[in-house]
């Protein structure tokens, strides 16, 4: 079903949250959109792009959103037809777009004028709010990195591994989401996208600044998570080596003692076996050997 909000004199915002084949026919026959754009609207997980036509633009953009567990980041598509007198959003868009549309509906119901009057201004408002929300998501990822860095020297490696793995996955999703969009937003500032209103260059430049900021944060976080992972692996390897060293030293101390006990367990004639104090003599010899070995290991700074 197509919901429509009228903004100002001629500007209309059409929102198709759950498009049907009838809705696609309306887009094709009434608005005369390209069939390939309609096909893109039928499918999900499309690559970010902007198609330029004589009388409209078609945008596919991705923005981050946490899942229901507030743990993993998932990309949400924003499919937008942008004409001189209309904006059409298609599909289950990011919640920011849904909230903005509901806000526009409420203001129309109260008879109030919406804050924008041109399609360019409406598109900018959408993108600016989406970028602001994306920066908030990025800062939350940064907080997770700070927590991982703080917990790096604790004694809970399983918790650190889980945190690093989740954060690395989220950074990869952000990387694949924003990297291809840099080219799209560069077209706005470079003048390849003319739009329909005058004096929008500064506004498009602001969107590009947001995009560059998010991309820089993504790269910084990727380097930081890599550094934390290497540091954590080194610490775990060093800890394992220390454990193996202690076990080896213990084995080295016990080995000669085991040899003596095994030797006197044989059914052959051995020294001291007739002596009534043989047990205590052997125990003393073994204790002396253990003390000497410990002293030697400490002198070599192996312990």
Q: Which pLDDT score, from 0 to 100, does residue 114 have?
A: 67
Segments forming the whole domain that contains residue 201: 2-237
Predicted model pTM: 0.76
Q: How confident is the model at residue 46 (pLDDT cuts 50, 70, 90)?
A: confident
| Distances, alpha carbon 22 to alpha carbons 18, 32, 38, 190, 253, in Å | 11, 14, 12, 37, 83
Please say if the pLDDT value at position 268 is more than 70.
no
Report the domain count for the chain. 2
Q: How confident is the model at residue 36 (pLDDT cuts 50, 70, 90)?
A: very high
**Letter string b/e over residues 263-275, b meaning 16 or more CB atoms within 10 A of that residue's CB:** eeeeeeeeeeeee
Residue 258's contacts (CB-CB under 8 Å, 6 or more residues apart) are none
Q: Which pLDDT score, from 0 to 100, does residue 136 have?
A: 92
Q: Pick from 237, 254, 280: which residue ends a domain?
A: 237
- What gap in Å lies between CA 185 and CA 127, rounded to an integer? 10
Task: Please report, for the domain that includes residue 60, its CATH number.
Answer: 3.30.460.20
Task: Please report, for the domain that includes residue 256, its CATH number.
Answer: 1.20.58.340
Q: Which pLDDT score, from 0 to 100, does residue 280 have?
A: 81
290 and 229 assigned to the same domain = no
Q: Span 230-256, mean pLDDT?
A: 82
6 and 16 assigned to the same domain = yes
Return the higher-pLDDT residue of 9 and 215.
215
185 and 274 assigned to the same domain = no
Q: How confident is the model at residue 155 (pLDDT cuts 50, 70, 90)?
A: low
* Surface-to-core class of residue 151, CB atoms within 10 Å of its CB (0-12 exposed, 13-18 middle, 19+ buried): middle
């Amino acid at each position: 079903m197509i919901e429509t909000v009228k903004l100002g004199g001629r500007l209309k915002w059409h929102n198709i949250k759950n498009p049907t084949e009838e809705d696609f026919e309306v887009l094709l026959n009434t608005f005369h959109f390209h069939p390939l754009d309609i096909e893109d609207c039928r499918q999900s997980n499309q690559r970010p792009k902007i198609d330029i036509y004589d009388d409209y633009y078609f945008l596919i953009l991705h923005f981050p959103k946490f899942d229901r567990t507030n743990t993993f980041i998932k990309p949400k598509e924003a499919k937008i037809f942008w004409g001189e007198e209309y904006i059409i959003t298609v599909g289950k868009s990011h919640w920011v777009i849904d909230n903005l549309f509901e806000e526009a509906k409420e203001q129309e119901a109260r008879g109030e004028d919406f804050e924008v009057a041109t399609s360019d201004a409406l598109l900018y408002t959408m993108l600016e709010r989406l970028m602001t929300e994306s920066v908030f998501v990025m800062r939350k990822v940064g907080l997770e990195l700070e927590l991982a860095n703080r917990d790096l020297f604790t004694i809970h490696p399983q918790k650190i591994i889980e945190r690093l793995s989740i954060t690395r996955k989220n950074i990869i999703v952000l990387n694949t989401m924003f990297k291809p969009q840099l080219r799209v937003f560069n077209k706005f500032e470079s003048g390849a996208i003319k739009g329909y209103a005058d004096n929008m260059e500064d506004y498009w430049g602001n969107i590009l600044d947001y995009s560059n900021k998010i991309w820089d944060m993504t790269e910084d976080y990727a380097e930081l998570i890599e550094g934390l992972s290497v540091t954590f692996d080194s610490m775990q390897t060093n800890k394992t080596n220390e454990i193996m060293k202690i076990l080896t030293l213990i084995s080295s101390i016990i080995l000669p003692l085991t040899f003596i006990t095994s030797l006197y367990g044989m059914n052959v004639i051995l020294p001291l076996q007739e002596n009534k104090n043989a047990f205590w003599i052997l125990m003393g010899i073994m204790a002396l050997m253990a003390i000497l070995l410990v002293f030697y290991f400490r002198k070599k700074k192996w312990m």
